[in-house]
Amino acid sequence: MREIIVSERDSYESWRGHKQRKPLTCVIGARGADGCAIVADTRAMREYEASNISKFHILWDRVAIAGAGTSVLLDKFAEGIQKSEIPSAPDFGKVVETIEDIVGEVSTRYQTRLGPDSGLEALIMGLENFDKGEPYLRIVYQQGITEDIGQFAIIGHGAPYAHPLYRLLYDPMLTANELAVLGYFVISTIVYLGLDQTVGMTQMGPECVILRANEEPKFLNPLDDEFKTARASLENLKFRANLITSIWQKIPMASSSIFPENSRCGPRCKNLGVVRN
Question: The CATH number of 26-258 is which of 3.60.20.10, 3.40.50.620, 2.60.290.11, 2.70.70.10?
Answer: 3.60.20.10
Given a cut of 50, the residues of the chain with pLDDT beneath it are 1-23, 252-277
Which residues make beta-bridge pairs with 136? Answer: 126
Q: What's the start-to-end Cα distance of the chain, in Å?
A: 69
What pLDDT is attached to residue 14? 35
What pLDDT is attached to residue 125? 96
> Alpha-carbon distance 10 to 7, whole Å?
5
What pLDDT is attached to residue 140? 95
> Alpha-carbon distance 65 to 80, whole Å?
13
Q: Are 81 and 60 in contact (CB under 8 A)?
A: no
DSSP-H helix ranges across the chain: 2-21, 71-83, 92-114, 159-169, 176-192, 228-234, 241-247, 252-258
* Residues 248, 206, 151, 139, Cα dihedral to 10°: -100
What pLDDT is attached to residue 272? 36
Residue 273 gets the label, from left (phi > 0), alpha (psi -120 to 50) or beta, of left
What pLDDT is attached to residue 254? 47
Q: pTM of the entire structure?
A: 0.77
